[in-house]
Amino acid sequence: MNYVSGKTIRSLREKRNLTQKALARLVNVSDKAISKWETEKGLPDIGVLGDLSQALGVSIAELMTGDLKANENTSANMKKSRFYICPICGNSIMAVGEGCFSCCGVTLPPLEAEPCDEAHSLTLEEVDGEYYVTMRHEMSKTHYISLIAYVTLDSLEVVKLYPEQDVSVRLRKKGRGILYACCNRDGLFRKAI
């Protein structure tokens, strides 16, 4: 039987943008313990595997084998959601799948999400069992983030944003999914979590 590899722990920790110290707090161990696990100079005790897998967002089986499963079946889940934004009034429409929508006399095409870039980088922290999402982005009346959305296998949570407010939202933590941010000038950006 395999046991947790240091490479798997480090990869999952970095993917979740956690420092060793932050992961240590979530698992109730020292950051030195995390360092030893990642450099394979020690192994996590079997008693912390549940907390460790939860903190890293994977099952215990995935943690132990390093074989991470992602549900890419978009035919029966919320991952086939599409976003439509009116370029005139900024109205947002979300649909589970393709559709034909219009607003202000304009037929709206579905937005194609691009991976986050340097100008549209989402920062994710876990706070009190929720995701705290922030982004350093201009929020003027002419250039702003209009929404942040969190899509999982079976749910969609959307927070509408307005010019001259900060891009900082709290979302209920529901497991693996995709974060979306819509910039009124540059389009839709995504980040897997």
Q: What's the CA gap between 142 and 66, in Å, rounded?
A: 45
How many Cβ atoms sit within 10 Å of the Cβ of residue 165? 10
Residue 91 in domain: no
Distance between CA atoms of 79 and 73, rounded to whole angstroms?
Answer: 8
Kindly report the CATH number assigned to the domain that includes residue 183.
2.60.40.730
Residue with more model confidence, 97 or 182: 182
Can you state the percent helix, strand and coil of the chain, rounding each to 5? 25, 30, 45
Considering the domain boundaries, does residue 107 fall inside one? no
| Cα 85 to Cα 101: distance, rounded to the nearest angstrom | 10
Beta-strand relationship, 187-192 and 114-115? parallel
Give the separation between CA 135 and CA 71, rounded to whole angstroms. Answer: 27
Query: Residues 23-68: pLDDT tens digits?
Result: 999 999 888 989 988 998 888 888 888 899 889 888 887 888 777 6
Show the tokens assigned to 29.
């161990």
Domain region containing 137? 112-192
- State how many domains the chain has: 2
Alpha helices in 28-123 (DSSP H): 31-38, 49-56, 60-65
CATH number of the structural domain spanning residue 11? 1.10.260.40
Tell me the three state secondary structure of residue 43. coil
Q: Give 177's Cβ-side CA count (13 Å radius).
A: 22
pLDDT (tens digit per residue) in 141-188: 889 999 999 988 888 899 999 888 999 999 998 888 899 999 988 899
Amino acid identity at 155: S
Q: Sort 191 into a burial class: Cβ within 10 Å, 0-12 / 13-18 / 19+.
A: buried
Instruction: Give the whole-angstrom CA distance, residue 160 versus residue 168.
Output: 11
> Is the same domain home to 116 and 181?
yes
Q: Same structural domain for residues 121 and 185? A: yes
